[in-house]
Structures are given as C-alpha cells and as structure tokens.
Structure 1
Amino acid sequence: MKFNSKFMALALLLAPLASAAPTENTLPATLPATLPAMLPATLPPTVLESPVDTISNQCTPGTYHCQCEPRVKKCWVDVCNHSGRWQLSARCRDRKDGNAVFTCRNEANGVAFCI
C-alpha cells in the first residue's frame, strides 16, 4: 500500500510538468529580444570542407585521408562525403613545430586517424 501512495504522490507532483511540455518541436512565434545578442554574428556551417585543398577533389565516399600543413603545426583528418568531396572529419593535436612528425596517419585500406 505504501508503494501505491508514493507512486500516486510522485505522479501528482510530476503531472504539471507533463502537461506543460510542448507537443511539437517548433520555435515560439516570438523570440526573446536578447536572443540575437546571444547568437554569434555568423553561424558556423554544419559541414566544413577541408581547410587545405592539396589532394584531389574527387574521392571514394567513405575513405579518410590524413592532412598536415607543412608550414604550420596543424594536422587533420578528412573524410570523403557522399558527393565525392573531401570534408573535415577531425582536428588532430598540434605538432611541436612545422617539421615535426605528423599527428595523424594514413593506412593502406583508406582509413586515417589522429595519433
């Protein structure tokens, strides 16, 4: 009997939350006036193209490629998307200097990864 009464008390406590929940994933008709100030001036794209286009634009979808910019410390992994174009998949840790060992690796089977 104690279980039923505790369950009912919990259900009554949570009932207002369930009834106030939105039924659809829609934005409100009016947004708060402070919202535009909170957003960045330009939103980042959802798909980032590879930062340096040193390899061919055409590729086999689902393959990966390790890239490192020779003059800087940055390395990254690109993935070939469904359109056959390289796009950024992962940013690897920085190298100690521009001549240091790459921080990503290419494998013969089309897989690349950060190390």
Structure 2
Amino acid sequence: MFDNPVQEARRYIENARQTLSRSAQKDGRYYSDKKYVKTAGHQAYTGVLLALDAVTPKPKKGRKTEEFYRAEITKMDKKLLRSFNVAYENLHMFMGYDGATDVSVAESGLREAETIIDWVANRLS
C-alpha cells in the first residue's frame, strides 16, 4: 500500500500532534475544542493501524477488526498488546469518539502509538 508504512504512520502521528497544538486550543490540562481532539484521535489511531497493517496478514474474510489486531499482536508480542489497548482506548475511543479534552489522555495515547510504530519498524528491519 505504502512504500514505507512506518514513515507514513509517523506522518499521521505528527499530523495529530499538529492538530492538537494548532487547533484544539490547549488551556492548562485540557483542550477547549472537542472537534479537533476528535480529528487528532482519528489521525493518530489511523497511523497505528497503518503500521500494524505492515506486519499483520489479511483476514480470511472481511475487514480487519480491533479483535483481529489484538489476536495477531498476541501471537507476535504479548507485551505490545498493552500498548495497543491503551492506543485503542485513548486515541480511538476517548479522543476519536468522545472528544476527551484531558491533555494526559492524548499524551498517553500518542506515546503508545509511537511505541507501536517503533516496534513495527524494528520488526521490519
């Protein structure tokens, strides 16, 4: 799909960081604009999935689901599953759907996203 999925995944994470810093209007420990928090959450979680797609097979039927990624990650590295769970919850659910405005949620999710992308980069090298 991409010539360098790790580089592309990192670009998505950087876009999410820029969306938060430029548009979400950080006010102390919180963001003021949920719309941009949601956008950043979707951007970052998409980056995680792009990276994981480089090391996971295609499913036999249908699309890759959260359960599919969990099962595949468990086969490869059970410790990475913690990072995936936090990234899924913080980026996809709390930020992407709920628009969670707590800065620590975004920081934690982005940190775990980078952990996953680094893991994929090491696996591909």
More helix by share: 2
What's the TM-score once normalised by structure 1's chain length? Answer: 0.24
What's the TM-score once normalised by structure 2's chain length? Answer: 0.23
Greater RCO (Cα-Cα under 8 Å, separation 6 or more): 2
More strand by share: 1
Structure 1 or 2, whichever has the larger Rg, is 1
